[in-house]
Amino acid sequence: MTCDIGGDRIPESLRELLVHSGWPAAFPGTASVLSDEDRSRLSPPLIDRDAGFASRMIAEHAGCDLIANPYRADLVDVGRSVHHRHLFRPSIRKLSVQVRKAILAEIRTPYREAVRRQISEMMLQSPYVVHLSVRTFAARAASGQWQRGDVGLLYDPSRRDELDWCLDLSDELYFAMPDLRVRRNHPGRGTNDSLTKAMRKHFHDVHYLGVELVLNRAWAARPVRRRGEVLRSLARAIRDVTPEATQRAA
């Protein structure tokens, strides 16, 4: 299990460079301050702390390994390819090429290498690896419409193993929590630019299953008992549909 955008830290090695470049969030006392937009359940957050919380809870209860990016996603979205338009936020795109290269070298490259290395090690121990990448999505779409779905499973429909695994998980969740609305390849597509897509290319000749587990912020951003119940049910369902996986498999 991975979480790309749940961290809220700034690397010490980059702080001075970012201060000198004029990036506002790098100044003392601003790194942990969130705007109203960041807190909102209605819009995508700059720092997805709720995805970080969810990934930790699911990993703990499912017995999965977790690799979580500890650094702020408004520095760089480590799940995006280097040419993706949303790799950097506008405030970072305004900075010099030197600063952006330093951010990639300090944050994105080590994170993705750690994920690749972990999957490779697990391939030596297990017949297959299921990689879940956790994010949240806005309760309301850009069009203003409410998102119809509580949990999204984003996968490549041309990969039969991913399709079957997601169907099994959907069935398991239906029996465990009939009111939970689970949708496949919604609100995005599993073939869009993402860490799982990159890992599919890298592990194209082995049994690698890459699935994005996306949670609606309408409930995932509410610190109430019901959120914990849903996350624990998700963890149990993930564990139950992955019977051959060891405790190191995620």
* Sequence-separated (6 or more) residues with CB below 8 Å from residue 222: 41
**Residues paired with residue 152 on neighbouring β-strands, in sequence order:** 183, 214
CB 159 within 8 A of CB 205: no
Provide the pLDDT for residue 46: 78
CB 176 within 8 A of CB 233: yes
Q: Where are the domains of the chain?
A: 2-240
The whole-angstrom separation of Cα 129 and Cα 245 is 8
Provide the pLDDT for residue 204: 84
The whole-angstrom separation of Cα 213 and Cα 227 is 15
Provide the pLDDT for residue 85: 92
Provide the pLDDT for residue 105: 98
Please state the φ and ψ torsions of residue 28, each to the nearest 5 degrees.
-55, 135
Provide the pLDDT for residue 39: 55
CB 173 within 8 A of CB 43: no
* Sequence-separated (6 or more) residues with CB below 8 Å from residue 138: 41, 42, 43, 44, 147, 217
DSSP string spanning 74-134? TT--TTS-TT-TTSS-HHHHTS-HHHHHHHIIIIIHHHHHHHHHHHHHHHTTSS-EEEEEE
Provide the pLDDT for residue 7: 93
Provide the pLDDT for residue 144: 83
pTM: 0.90
Q: Which of 88, 84, 60, 82 is nearest to 3 (CA)?
A: 60
CATH class for domain 2-240?
alpha beta
Provide the pLDDT for residue 30: 55
User: Of how many residues is the chain composed?
Assistant: 250
Q: Please give the chain's pLDDT, 250 residues, in tens.
A: 999 999 999 999 999 999 999 888 877 655 444 444 445 777 777 789 999 999 999 999 999 999 999 999 999 999 999 999 999 999 999 999 999 999 999 999 999 999 999 999 999 988 899 999 999 999 988 888 888 899 999 999 999 999 999 999 999 999 999 999 999 999 999 999 999 999 999 998 789 999 999 999 999 999 999 999 999 999 999 999 997 654 443 4
Report in angstroms the alpha-carbon separations of 44 from 54, 116, 141, 159, 187. Answer: 16, 27, 9, 29, 13
The whole-angstrom separation of Cα 218 and Cα 24 is 29
Rg (CA), the chain: 18
The whole-angstrom separation of Cα 109 and Cα 100 is 12
* Sequence-separated (6 or more) residues with CB below 8 Å from residue 39: 45
